[in-house]
Structures are given as structure tokens and as C-alpha cells.
Structure 1
Amino acid sequence: MPLSYCHLVIPIIMGLPFSSTPHQQAALHHYAADTSRQPDMEQVFTLVSDPPHFPGGDSALQNYLDKNLRIPKAAVAAKVAGTVYVQFVVDKKGNLLYPNVSGPYKGYGLEEEAVRVVSSMPRWEPGKEKGKALNVKCDLPVTFTLPQPKK
């Protein structure tokens, strides 16, 4: 069974892009300002019977992250790694909108890199309820590991 990155049962009314700290808002401003990607929606759901998923499933998602995710040099120098949680909406057409970081701030460029990689993903298969595509909020853990020292 594929992993689900969408949670809870409560639909929410879409207002502003998800926000956190002023630093994160400034770093992500250009994503929220892209009006060509604004969804045609009033409600965003957090749980549907058929959740959104990356094309090809979880193994394809992991391959995409392995190929495209780069740990920032500042994080390597500071020996900072860990998991960054990126929230986003998968709209009815499978577009990923409003990427934003949730959870504790790690710094050293990890949040910006996680959002960059999520923002560059291909369209997902949209979430559905009773066969109807819906706008669904998702949380994706993006894990950064430090490179192993050469022996």
C-alpha cells in the first residue's frame, strides 16, 4: 500500500499560502506570487479516499528525491542534516501549489532546497473522493543526510 502524505478529516477553506516564519515567507515569496498557478478552488481537503501520489508511486518519488535533492554546502560545513517537512496542495489537475515548510527550522539552506525540489516535481496524480478529483493538502518529509567522509 502506498504511503499517504495527506492527513486528517477536516476540509479547510483556502485563504493564504501556508506560512511560518518571516524568513521562510521571504524565501518562498516567489512561489506564492505566481498567479498563473493559482488553483481553481474553494476548499482544500486533508483526507480523501484516494490520496494524491507521485507518478510511479513511492519508489519513483524516492528515486526523484535521490536524483534531485542536494544538501547545501553550508549545511555540510555546519554538519547539519535531518528532515524538513514541506506542505503543499495538490490541485484537481495534479499541480503542486503553495509549497511551504512546517516544523522546526533547521537553517543552512535546507528549507529552501526542500521547497525547490518539491516545486520542481512533475504533476502528481490528484486526490479523489468517489472518483472526483479534489484539491488536497499534503505533507512530505524530505530527509537530508550528510555525505560520508572519504577514507
Structure 2
Amino acid sequence: MEPVTIVLPPPPVEKQQEIVPPVAPAKVEVATEVYAKTKVVPDNAPIKEVELANQEDLKNADFGTKKIEGIDPADLPAIVPSDDLTGIDGGTGNEAPENSVLDFAEEMPEYAGGMSAMSKYLSRKMNYPAAARAEKIEGTVVVTFVVGRSGEIEDVKVLKGLGFGTDDEALRVIKSMPRWKPGKQNGIPVAVRYTLPIKFSLRN
């Protein structure tokens, strides 16, 4: 077969872009400040002198926007003692001090995800001690701890133990728990003591 010859059209002629010279911005007339004419006065004209106030006069001065009579410091009300400030600035007087730990709060602390999520966490992290398994020890270890204002776990203690390594294991797992949702009193985060029973049971 004879080869097929393809004829290409000539390339398009590029038009040169016209260079437009920049246009100078129009001149804007700016109004000048109007100055008062110089007033010529005779040399013997009286000059009004202004007497400046001294430091003693400025002590009782009131630098406000209105002309008012000054107040004698002796007439000012006495300073309110700090003990009488309870309830001021939006407080109700029922807030707990920052370093106090409550046994109960309006909103109790909560593990992220609720009790079911906490039970799964404990089951996954808890190891049955070998000594307790060998002696077939079963029962409940009661642990108490504080959920801080930021949700951190603090002051972990065993209220009721079983021994044979179960107490130490319960303390280890509780201390390793992630932050909780802190408790609140009057809408303010507070530290709350929490008591949690942990049951050790052997599976047959």
C-alpha cells in the first residue's frame, strides 16, 4: 500500500500585542489649611498671663470631662472587706474552693463513654494476679479516687481489699485511666471523690 500523506495547515500568525503606554494619574487638588492672618499689636499692649497650678493644687483635682466639685478623700466610703465579697461578680456564694474535694456534686464526674465504656476498659486492662488465681481468690475490691477539676485521676486508695495482688492490680489500672469528664457544681468544674467497686471472678 502506498503511504498516506498528511498535509498540515500553516501555523497561525501570532499578532504582536500592542504596548499601551501607562497613563499618568490625574492630578488631585488638595485643599490647604487656612491660616489666620497675623495680628499686629503694639509693644505696650497688655499680655494676659495664665498662672499654672502647683502640685498642691493638683492633688485634689478631678481630671474628668465635666467640671464638677472635688470629693474629699475623707468622705469616700470605706473599703469593703474581702470576706464580704461573697456573691459579687456573678457568684452565688455556693462555689467550692479550688482546693476542696466534694463527695457529691450536682453533676457527678463521668468516664468518657459512660459506665459501659469504663467496664470494657477495666476488663481489657485488668490482669488476674497469679497468686489470687492459684488460691482461687474471688471477690470485690473497693477503690476510691478523686476526679480533679480537669478530669485527672488523683489520690487513688483501696477501701476494701482482697489481697493476693488484687489490690495492687486495681490501683494500677485506676491510676492508668484516661481523663474523665469532671464533675460540676453550679456549672463550675470541681474535684469530686468517686468510689468504684471492682469484682474479681474466675471463669471456669
- Same topology, TM > 0.5: yes
Normalized per residue, which structure has more helix?
A: 1
Match of 2:183 in 1: 127
The amino acid of 2:146's aligned partner reads V
SS of aligned partner of 2:142: strand
Structure 2 runs not aligned, ≥5 long: 1-96
SS class of match (1:135):
strand
Residues 1:64 and 2:156 are matched in the alignment: no
User: Does 1:80 find its partner at 2:137?
Assistant: yes
TM-score, with length taken from structure 1: 0.69
**Separation of aligned partners in 2, 1:57 and 1:106:** 27
The code of the aligned residue for 2:120 comes to N
Give the drift of 1:66.
1.1
**What does the per-residue CA deviation read over 1:40-77, in whole Å, with 9 as the maximum and x for residues that have no partner?**
94210000011001100011001101111111010000
Say how many residue pairs are matched. 108
Query: What secondary structure, in the 3-state scheme, does the structure 1 residue paired with 2:131 have?
Result: helix
Matched, 1:116 2:154: no
Equivalent pairs: percent with the same residue?
Answer: 39
Runs of 4+ in 1 over 3 A off after TM superposition: none
> Residue in 1 aligned with 2:154?
97
Matched letter for residue 83 of structure 1: T
- Mark the structure with the bigger radius of gyration: 2
Match in the other structure for 1:27? none
- After TM superposition, list the pairs within 5 Å mapping 1:14-93 onto structure 2: 41-93=98-150
- 2:196 is the counterpart of 1:146: no
In structure 2, how many angstroms separate the alpha carbons of the residues matched to 1:122 and 1:53?
Answer: 11
RMSD of Structure 2 on Structure 1 (CA): 1.3
Partner of 2:128: helix, strand, or coil? coil
Deviation at 1:87, TM superposition (A): 0.6
Q: Give the secondary-structure state (helix, strand or coil) at the position aligned to 1:121.
A: coil
Q: Letter of the aligned partner of 2:166 in structure 1?
A: L
Shift of 1:147: 2.8
Bigger RCO of structures 1 and 2 (CA < 8 A, at least 6 apart): 1
Structure 1 runs not aligned, ≥5 long: 1-39
Higher strand content, 1 or 2: 1
